[in-house]
Structure 1
Amino acid sequence: MVGAVKDSFDLAVVGSGIIGLAHALAAARRGLRVVVVDRDQKANGASIRNFGLVVVTGQEPGLSRRLAERSREIWLELANEAGIEILHRGKLIAAQRPEALALLETFKSGEHGGACKLLTAREVLAQQAGLDQSAIIGGLHSPFELRVESREALPRLASFLAEKHGVVFRTGVSVTEIAPPFVETSAGRIDAEKVVVCPGDDFSSLYPGLIGKHGVQRCKLQMLRLADPGFRLSSALMSDLSLLRYGGFAALPEAGALRAKLSEERGAALANGVHLIVVQSADGSLVVGDSHHYGLTLDPFGSEAVDQLILGEFKTLFGKAPNVLARWTGYYASAKNAVLRDTPHEDVRLVIVTSGTGASTGFGLGEATIVELFGQ
């Protein structure tokens, strides 16, 4: 996609994944002239290999929660402005163990649980068809979550930025050097006063030494698409394993008892970083996952054993699983902190979401970076 070429820009964004587009949107909304440069022809990484789930409830309190709340607001605005369809609203956590229910009760009583609703087993089953009643003892419903189809939402957002905001896209172009007010690329020099670099899990092309100092590694995940199960999800769905993956739950004292119980009963799942998220696409098919394996260089191969662990968790909740239609792996940057933000130059910001929460927090993060670079 190529917009009308301009001689110079206020901002160059390197990377056209969700984080790059979030920064482009924040800048374009302020009337700044923006160019997005990407070595690929379109977003092809973690930004489209995910659930498209904007998670608010369960985000770590503080910055991550605030960024998620603001990002949710922007997703809703884009639903109207850019025609991005919201497929789900809300999230149901189906508790299978007393330890999980105790954790949810504590969360409900805390600062961020007020708008959520604790559910009895009967209420969970009434809210979501298809669940195995013998597996459920209660749950929690959050009204905040949104779900989009990432592989459709990202191209639509890019088109919206180009057509409505005049953002220029230079794709299939590699950035070789950043020296504001210039960016050198494989297709020539771009004049840009300020630059935001959003490299995803590319740790070697730009600022490798700086990225390395932050202890960043890669996370590999596995996901599946299942055939239409014959029922409709009322919202996104999670289960007990998911509670250990989100800081807003995992930091609570009750998480220790749940982890111990799951270690006994689901040791292999924990060892492979498996937790269950289930969302549904417009055609009725289900996106199910995922797993987590870490390292600097990870193999590209999916594991059938890991897929079976994911499907096993699905079967625990639903009794059976539909046919698998597709399988894929994804990779994203991972580090101790949820976000890597650094300043290689006073007019350059390096921004990497290192927690797998790009869709959930990216728009809020983009606004914060643009304010930092250009002021209020």
Structure 2
Amino acid sequence: MPAHNTPDPHAEALARTAAEAFRTVYGEEPEGVWAAPGRVNLIGEHTDYNDGFVMPFALPFYAAAAASKSETWEFHSTYDGGSTVRSGRLDGPAVQRVDGWAAYLAGVAWALGESGYPVGPVRIALYSDVPHGAGLSSSAALECAALIALADLYGHEIDRAEAARIAQLAENEYVGAPTGVLDQSASLLCSEGNVMFMDCRDLSREQVPFDLGPEGLTMLVVDTRAPHRHADGEYGARRADCEEAARLLGVSHLRDAPADATLADDRLNRRMRHVLSENERVQATVSILKGGNVSGIGDLLTASHVSLRDDYEVSSVELDSAVDAALGAGALGARMTGGGFGGSAIALVRVEDAPKVETAVLEAAAKADLPEPRIFTARAAAGAHRVL
């Protein structure tokens, strides 16, 4: 699988760390090192599994996988203190006996085989600095780094959009998290300096310039440090609600629901309303960005959060605190990002207001006796690629 982006210095540094871990654990040089980023979704939440529209960009945080062909499957990761997981075979029923973080890697190997791209055993040493449990797609980064490594090592040329579907298959069917294709697509398909507008029905996509500098803006990411687990029942419940709403309306996905549709069930009606309005917000965001007015998307970001909080009910005390504090301190727009139930929020702010917004978010968390958030600035980084 060819490289999709030119690696950045940070990805190269992580790749060297992963290669050193490989040498330490296995006593030999890896055949290569591959890296895949986490992501922020600018707007378009819970629309992916409804065949809707999304707008992610890749974060400059990566999972780096140093790997070589081997006689047995061996996984090493820093995620759990540097332990090594060994298993003889991952085909057939044996895949069900791998769990924990290694399930993401084993799941990718299984999904490649299921999709007609058989792979053999590898040794992998993984190093990642994608914040874990923050709603920034740390699991998708792991999956995509492993996928492009396995594909390259075993000589498979896979279209990036198809690769995203394969990684999604691993997460849905092997790991058991009913996510859409947004996270894997962002990790594999985003490009540096752009936000990616993607139609989740056919995976058609367009890279839209996302340059905050000329308008004196920056994007803050607030990791609330609240637990965030997609495999929990609430995520699956939201997806089931959408499927039931679509069934009642006689459409395959809520993306196809008429704009004036209503449902007797209040909960299902609110789920549908979020999906339809969120798709409209994504399309409006594309138009505004193409017009060169980045600051003009602020109200759309905030409206997205309100919809996710009230209609989709996937926000949390920590996320609402961060969003409200950021807006109160002068952010142009703010919203939760990711699946919700914890995780991270984003805030579009003027550069000169960034310190004030950061302070307000931290003070609000402290006042409410919430975990101290981790706050950093985000830029649109390179997607998955071979680094070394």
TM-score scaled to structure 2, two decimals?
0.26
TM-score scaled to structure 1, two decimals?
0.26
Greater per-residue strand proportion: 1
